[in-house]
């Protein structure tokens, strides 16, 4: 096998691998790399229809990558909907994603007396945040879950960003258990490590 053949196989493998990704941002990024590799491969062989095809696919991937990155922190794209803790749709979401939730939150269960928020993009639910009152003005995060498609983003930020939802209930701090799988996530949201928890101090209501 020549080095050029190897390049072609690598590009094809990247395209196939991209289609196996559940995370939408990662899918687009890997697919783009595969397209770029195949543009070079087909250019070297002079197969111009394939150069054109992969160029078009690369442009499409770039367009959607830019769009995803530009809107990842947009309140116009993502909304927070508070629901009752016994809401049927909330129960459905938790059941559908039960195995994935258990993977990142071992031992999670749904006891009573907590607040529940859904983060939605259009008509698609992309995240769930569940909290309970820890006393002394502290809201404790029981679950901050992001669906696989949006795991490269931080949908939970839209819940914590709307601090009035907490301060109106008398909370001044949000704390979350320091689980290794979620440490980077909470750090990106502005939480700081305090002992065996992550803590976020909320700005006072204006």
Question: Is the entire prediction scored with pTM above 0.75?
Answer: yes
Q: What is the mean pLDDT of residues 117-123?
A: 91
Residue-number span of the structural domain to which 56 is assigned: 3-71
Average pLDDT across the chain, whole number: 88
Q: Which residue has the higher pLDDT, 6 or 179?
A: 6
Claim to verify: residue 67 and residue 121 sit in the same structural domain? no
Burial of residue 155, with CB atoms counted within 10 A of its CB: 0-12 exposed, 13-18 middle, 19 or more buried: buried
pLDDT of residue 128: 93
**Same domain, residue pair 159 and 191:** yes
Contacts of 115 (CB under 8 A, 6+ apart): 82, 85, 130, 131, 132, 139, 169
Confidence of residue 34 (pLDDT cuts 50, 70, 90): very high
Which range (12-16, 49-53, 97-101, 201-205) has the least confidence? 201-205
The reply to whether 94 and 32 lie within a common domain is no
Answer yes or no: is pLDDT of 205 > 80.
Answer: no
98 in the same domain as 41 = no
Q: Check whether residue 93 and residue 46 sit in a common domain.
A: no
Residues 143-189: tens digit of each pLDDT:
989 999 998 888 888 888 877 788 888 889 999 888 776 767 888 88
- Residue 45: its pLDDT value, please? 92
Task: Round to whole Å and give the CA distance between 188 and 103.
Answer: 21
Domain finish residue from 43, 71, 99: 71
Residue after which a domain boundary falls, among 71, 99, 125: 71
Query: Mind listing the pLDDT tens digit for each residue in 55-88?
Result: 999 999 999 999 999 888 887 889 999 999 889 9
Q: Give me the number of domains the chain comprises.
A: 2
Give me the phi and psi of 194, to 5 degrees please: -135, 100
For residues 163 and 178, the answer to whether their CB atoms sit within 8 Å is: no
Distance CA 77, CA 193 (A): 30
Q: What is the mean pLDDT of residues 46-63?
A: 96
């Amino acid at each position: 096998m020549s080095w050029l053949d190897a390049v072609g196989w690598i590009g094809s493998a990247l395209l196939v691998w991209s289609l196996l990704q559940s995370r939408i941002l990662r899918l687009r990024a890997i697919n783009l790399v595969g397209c770029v590799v195949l543009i070079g491969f087909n250019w070297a062989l002079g197969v111009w229809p394939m150069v054109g095809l992969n160029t078009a696919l690369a442009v499409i991937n770039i367009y959607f990558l830019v769009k995803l990155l530009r809107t990842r922190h947009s309140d116009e794209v993502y909304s927070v909907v508070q629901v009752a803790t016994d809401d049927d749709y909330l129960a459905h979401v938790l059941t559908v994603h039960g195995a994935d939730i258990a993977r990142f939150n071992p031992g999670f269960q749904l006891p009573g007396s907590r607040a529940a928020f859904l983060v939605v993009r259009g008509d698609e639910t992309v995240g769930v945040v569940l909290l309970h009152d820890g006393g002394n003005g502290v809201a404790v995060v029981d679950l901050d879950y992001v669906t696989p498609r949006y795991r490269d983003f931080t949908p939970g930020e839209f819940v914590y960003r709307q601090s009035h939802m907490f301060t109106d209930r008398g909370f001044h701090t949000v704390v979350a258990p320091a689980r290794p799988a979620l440490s980077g996530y909470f750090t990106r949201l502005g939480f700081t490590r305090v002992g065996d928890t992550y803590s976020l101090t909320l700005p006072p209501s204006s």
